[in-house]
Amino acid sequence: MPEHLSIGDVLEELRAQHADITISKIRFLESQGLISPERTPSGYRKFYPDDVARLRWVLEQQSQHFLPLKVIKERLDALDRDGVKPGAPETAPVDPENRETAVQALFESARRAQVEAEAQRQAAIVAAAELDDEVDELNVGVSGVSLSRAELARAIGLDEAAVAELEAFGLLEPSYDHPDRPLFGDEALATARAAAGFMRYGIEPRHLRMYQHFAEREAALFDQVLLGYRQRRNPEAQAQLEETRRELTTLGRRLRFALLAQAVRRPG
């Protein structure tokens, strides 16, 4: 076995247990400080056995315990402070007199993690409600930004590979035609920021395609209502079209939020 592995080798090694692992996800976990593989002078990553074990442990916390990355990072930091390698077996025997205390401590730790995860979920709901009240999605293109792929990646705090993955899954497309490079506007920036927020919780672009599919179906439904206004070219009809379009969009947004809030509060 080689002394260290490339990122491609790590991908192949972990794919049997984690079918959804991708190179972009490994890079993303690195960007969040969860893993820190060594780099060669030319920038290639070198994964040693401890790096692979750490990455495997992070993936297990996501897939088996459904922990958010923030909680996983805190647990990793605690293990690092204690000098414990993630995924390493417990070798020290447990004192029988302290066994009950140790079990209680484990249960308490799990309970705190669940409480924190629920608090984060509720905070996300509240933030969504506030955003719903304050933001008009139809006017996201008012600032007239024009960003290259690299500039867009920096704006949302991800790398260009993540932006390219969003494009590959059809979630992101250039807003302007340019002979040399794609340029992204306000709507693309808003989409990328929202997707980046999901990705920080380990939710990948392929999981977000359902939002795109729903948006397309919703737009098709609205078009049926707006068709009569589109066919009339007078200024009054066009003004009515814009007003109706805004109202339908607001109603759709409110309904989605209400249904989501109802679903996430539903027991297990």
- Sequential pLDDT tens for the chain (268 residues): 468 899 989 999 998 888 888 888 898 899 888 999 998 888 889 999 999 999 999 999 888 877 888 889 989 998 888 888 886 554 444 455 555 665 566 566 666 666 665 555 555 444 444 444 444 444 444 456 788 888 889 988 888 888 889 988 889 888 776 666 778 888 888 899 999 999 888 888 889 989 988 888 998 898 888 888 778 878 887 888 888 888 888 888 888 888 887 777 766 5
Q: Is residue 243 part of a domain?
A: yes
Bridge partners (DSSP) listed for residue 5? 47
Asked if residue 115 is part of any domain, the answer here is no
45 membership: H or E segment, kind and range? strand 45-46
The domain boundary residue, chosen from 58, 81, 104: 81
Q: CA triplet 160, 163, 164: central angle to 5 degrees?
A: 85
Task: Write down the pLDDT at residue 38.
Answer: 92
Q: Amino acid identity of 145?
A: V
Please report whether residue 72 resides in a domain.
yes
Shared domain for 255 and 155, answered yes or no, is yes
Q: Are residues 205 and 130 in the same domain?
A: yes
Q: Which domain holds residue 60?
A: 7-81
pLDDT recorded at residue 57? 93
Mark whether 19 and 126 lie in a shared domain.
no
Task: Give me the CATH number covering residue 210.
Answer: 1.10.1660.10
**pLDDT of the residue at 55:** 94
Instruction: Identify the pLDDT of residue 93.
Output: 45
Q: How far is residue 214's CA from residue 131's CA, in Å, rounded to a whole number?
A: 20
Q: Looking at the structure, do residues 136 and 237 belong to the same domain, yes or no?
A: yes
**Residue 203 within any structural domain of the chain:** yes
Are both 242 and 126 inside the same structural domain?
A: yes
Structural domain includes residue 103: no
The answer on 153 and 52 residing in a single domain is no
Does 127 share its domain with 258?
yes
Query: Global pTM?
Result: 0.47
**In angstroms, rounded to a whole number, what is the distance separating the alpha carbons of residues 117 and 111?**
10
Our measurement of the distance from residue 255's CA atom to the centroid of its chain's CA atoms, rounded to an integer in Å, reads 23
Residue 219 covered by a domain: yes
Helices (H) and strands (E) in the chain, counts: 10, 2
Structural domains in the chain (count):
2
Claim to verify: residue 144 and residue 243 sit in the same structural domain = yes
Residue 114: inside a domain, yes or no? no
125 and 213 co-located in one domain: yes
50 shares a domain with 165? no
Instruction: Give the pLDDT score at 259.
Output: 83
Q: How many residues does the chain have?
A: 268
Q: Is 109 part of a structural domain of the chain?
A: no
Structural domain ending residue among the three candidates 52, 81, 110: 81
Statement to judge: residues 127 and 60 lie in one domain:
no
- CB-count exposure of residue 95 (10 Å: 0-12, 13-18, 19+): exposed
Domain boundary, last residue among 56, 81, 106:
81
Q: What b/e string do you get for 31-62 counting C-beta neighbours within 10 Å, with b at 16 or more?
A: ebebbebeeeeeeebebeeebbebbbbbbbbb
253 shares a domain with 173: yes
How many CB atoms within 10 Å of residue 204? 20
Compute the chain's Rg from CA coordinates: 23
Q: Tell me the CA distances in angstroms from 152 to 56, 174, 183, one per residue in order.
A: 30, 11, 9
